[in-house]
Chains A and B, each alone.
Chain A
Amino acid sequence: MTQRTSARDSVRELSTAVTGGIGESPRRPDGTLKVRGEFAYSSDLWHEDMLWGATLRSPHPHARILSIDLTEALRTPGVYAVLTHEDVPGENIYGLEHPDQPVLAVDRVRYQGESVALVAADHPETARRAVARIKVEYAELPPVTDMVAAAKGEGPPLHPDGNVVRHLKIRRGDPEATADVMVVGEYEIGMQDQAFLGPESGLAVPAEDGGVDLYVATQWLHVDQKQVANALGLPLEKVRLTLAGVGGAFGGREDLSMQVHACMLALHTGKPVKMVYNREESFFGHVHRHPAKLYYEHGATKDGRLVYVRAKIYLDGGAYTSSTPAVVANAATLGVGPYRVDNVAVDCWGVYTNNPPCGAMRGFGAVQAAFGYESQMDKLAERLGMDPVEIRVHNAIAEGDTMPTGQVIDSPAPVAELMRRLRRLPMPPENREEPVDIRDMPGGVSNTTHGEGVVRGVGYAVGIKNICFSEGFDDYSTARLRVQTVGGEPAALVHTAAAEVGQGLVTVKQQVVRSELGIERVTVAPMDTTVGNGGSTSASRQTYVTGGAVRKVCQTVRQRIFELAARKLGHGPDGLELAGGKVVDASGVVLADLVDVLGDDVVEETEVYRHRPTYRVDSETGQGNAHVQYGFAAHRAIVDVDTELGLVKVVQLDCVQDVGKAMNPQAVVGQIHGGSAQGLGLAVMEEIQVVDGKVRNPSFTDYLIPTILDMPPMTVDVLELADPHAPYGLRGVGEPPTISSTPAIVAAIRAATGNALPRVPVRPEHITGT
């Protein structure tokens, strides 16, 4: 790891007297349990006397519901309840930003898999059989499936305001600008799935006060709480959520799945109700990554300087709004990539169709745009006879530059440096020795080549992502901290509602407390709604925002401890420090043990942290300071392609990323590995295949994600250029590596094959032309 700190590094001197603080990689509190298979995931929840819920879903992408007959289902022995939209106690509607999705369909279904009715029974199999006995009469309607046509207003409207969810324009400079050379391209991105391993699941327990306690795997407890309470017609305080073990999320748990359903069944039957989707149902139970069509035109001078970029970007949001407006904002505002361009005209549409609903997924909007603009940069380089790294360095954005939105980048943006470092990394050896190890060949153990037809290619890409919530969203997190003496030692209990979904926020919270307060023993309280909103575990924001909240509450608690110390020691509260469980003065002289200062006192404080404000962009020009922070990562991919069979082996995938401050270096590298793997999946295999609104491959048999033989070794180079506006100078880490991985791999395949490859995932047929 490269350790570099800029002169403006605002990190305060951190206590070094405790181990497991910031900058170290202590063990995760949940690590051992997970490795041993003993960690309780939400699907492991169990309650005495509980019932099992199951969902009836629409088989049609678009239809009217003519009638629903529950008779046979209700007659099934073991069934406790069969519910429809008529049984939704509150408002039959939910949605993240724009509630428009019914909890249970009323008279129309807009996508295959839409929830229509619910069953609770004493056994999951009984519940499933009862679901199969519900008779629904549908009148099928022609599905709207073409995103470009939907953007143009063609086809029947699926919602009252038509099928355009959002149309955002970015206008900067001269819209008519011309240039020496011009390249155009059309690109397409298939529908990727988060493919988290823990399916949607939770347990709803009815409470004596008429409310409900819900244990669930989610990304954002408070936004769930609000929507569930609204649908149940209950005040917020009667809907209490606790985070259950989350088996991966990647955006797919930001929208509701079984939350309201389980609560409805629990309140109706007066019994605890558990719901667990199976793998197939999971493919219908959460939103996916927006498929996209992108049309780009890049103009540049003869020496390779960008003059203008014009683009039209279409994003298929499927049947309901979900996060589509934010996805549009990202794709549009980041649509030219991390490059300096004076003349920009980007139009981006997010639309409704009868395809599966799409919403949040790691890097949303930025992933789709990057495949377009990075493919264009390579095309331009080829046209000009330039090196792909050179053209990127040449046009790289830097601190102080202005984005197409007019926003000035006011923290390090080392795009050129990322590219230069990538280029300097050593190349792997060619696998040409006899006998070859087939595991290193395209096709792997399937034994398709011993070197025949194999051509190597190298590709580069860089990406940009906004970190934290943008466009004026009131983005904050809450942290509660209690410090007291436990068993003769100072101990801290840190409590937030910010969801741990596997990324390691639990560890980071401990690290912050240890470094700030010099207290080694830090316990993480279960995440629930008895503490204030922690915001979503998305947009690479939790270490920034919840980390910021934990730091802030530490500062308050520290102040309280100093006041205690002042009273007990007769030393003014100023100039005190906490280190290694001691209270010390400015010169480091130990004044007292923290335990003695605390005595029997319990210091507990709660703080809310907000990042600096952002603003909605102008809808006609896209101008405005929409984003808090930008994150950058770049990849180099080396691939071997079997050009006759169209099979690809990514031989090496290297990444350079600036993280501002590596709070937990091991977790940082883990995020980069994982994000890169997810980008690899999109490049060469991951796609939900949808035909006429219907999913053709809802299983891990045919929705393929990379295995260890697909994911190559990585060299990861981490830069730490502090962002003066962020806690500890840190920069969100989780999404940027997903963005540049895909275009780098496709660039490498293009280099090996000479094929245009305008679509991801690249399939063998695209390479062989058959």
Chain B
Amino acid sequence: MMDFLQPTSWSEALRIKSERPGAVPVAGGTDVMVELNFDHRRPEALLDLNRVAELAEWSEEDGRVRLGAGVPYARVITELGDELPGLAMASRTVGSPQIRNRGTVGGNLGAASPAGDSHPALLAADAVVEVASVRGTRMIPAAEFYTGVKRNALEPDELIAAIHLDVARGPQQFAKVGTRNAMVIAVCAFGLALHPEQQRVGTGIGSAAPTPRRASAAEEFLSGELTAAGLWSAPRPLTDSVRRRFGELVAQAASPIDDVRGSAAYRRHALAVLARRTLGWVWQDYCGGSWPACA
């Protein structure tokens, strides 16, 4: 027998979680229910968060979005496409309409699968995860949130409250390779964001390492090239060698494996291609000049 707990407020949810750390939170249920169905998990209790209204809200303040952990992908796509373009693009690639109506970014973080599609976008955009417990609140940068295959930085009494991201101040892209044209788990994925105000580039790699991760060397290389050549304020087309080098560095940052979905060699190859292409797209967009930092 399994208890089904349905708090109606955030404080009640936190209290239950502290009293029963074994209770498994349910947001959209698109991961949890699959695990229960397969009998991969037999929790003592389910903690249904769907009645906690504030989890399904988002707000914007001072150029920063606070995205409630329970906002489904469908709403990220329709309501936040301009503010969070990278995350919205990633959301668009998740599952099917049914899954996007139920599934949430909070759930993706909770599951912390290396193949979760929101992660590369969150990493590239410097997202920060707000987690809470009766003990208080912690702000964890996305890059520190993923701790292992399907493991994250949550303590047993903690819940994910929200994700904080800047409203995009530069172009963002997300691309994922799958062997079907829709409804497919990533063979590998890549997120890219330009942060012109900081003269910095953000990246995220999915499905090509035990956890989602940034391609730090690639970020540093590209940021350096753009800054050194003064391209942030006077954008010009990038040379092929810069784009190629960026792709190589992204591929090198991965540590993929061979599995049923694809070979390690293919994943590296494809990541390099995705990195080059997405860089081409963001840079073309940036050169279009509609971004504040462009002169």
Contacts and interface: CB of A to CB of B under 8 A. Distances in A.
Interface in A738-770: 763-765, 768, 770
A696 B89 CA distance: 31
B176 A763 contact: no
A443 B175 CA distance: 9
B260 A689 contact: yes
Given A446-B176, A710-B181, A697 B260 contact: yes
A529 to B, nearest CB: 35
Contacts of B149: none
A704 B260 contact: no
A709 B182 CA distance: 6
B221 interface: no
Given A644-B273, A770-B266, A649 B260 contact: no
B184 to A, nearest CB: 7
B270 A764 contact: yes
Interface string B177-190: 11111111111000
A597 interface: no
Interface in B72-102: 89, 92-93
Range for the number of chain B residues in contact with chain A:
35 or more
A735 B179 CA distance: 26
Contacts of A644: 273
A447 interface: yes
9 contacts: A443-B178, A446-B181, A447-B176, A448-B175, A644-B273, A647-B179, A706-B180, A708-B182, A765-B262
Interface string A646-672: 110100000000000000000000000
B261 interface: yes
B180 A685 contact: yes
B291 to A, nearest CB: 18
A770 B175 contact: no
A707 B182 contact: yes
A701 B178 CA distance: 12
A445 interface: yes
B39 A128 contact: yes
A448 B180 contact: no
A448 B274 contact: yes
Most B-side CB within 10 Å, residue of A439, A450, A645, A701: A645
A442 interface: yes
A449 interface: yes
Nearest to A442: B181
Contacts of B273: 453, 644-645
Contacts of B183: 707
A600 interface: no
Given A446-B93, A707-B181, A764-B266, 18 more contacts: A278-B37, A439-B181, A447-B174, A447-B176, A448-B274, A452-B280, A702-B260, A704-B179, A704-B184, A707-B182, A709-B181, A709-B182, A710-B182, A764-B177, A765-B262, A768-B266, A768-B270, A770-B269
Contact of A452 (B93, B265, B268, B277): B277
A162 interface: no
Contacts of B260: 689, 696-697, 702
Contact of A764 (B38, B173, B181, B262): B262
Interface string A135-160: 00000000000000000000000000
A169 to B, nearest CB: 37
Nearest to A691: B260
Interface string B252-285: 0000000011110110111001100100110000
Most A-side CB within 10 Å, residue of B174, B185, B277: B277
A108 B209 CA distance: 40
B157 to A, nearest CB: 30
Nearest to B187: A764
Contact of B263 (A280, A442, A710, A765): A765
Nearest to A132: B39
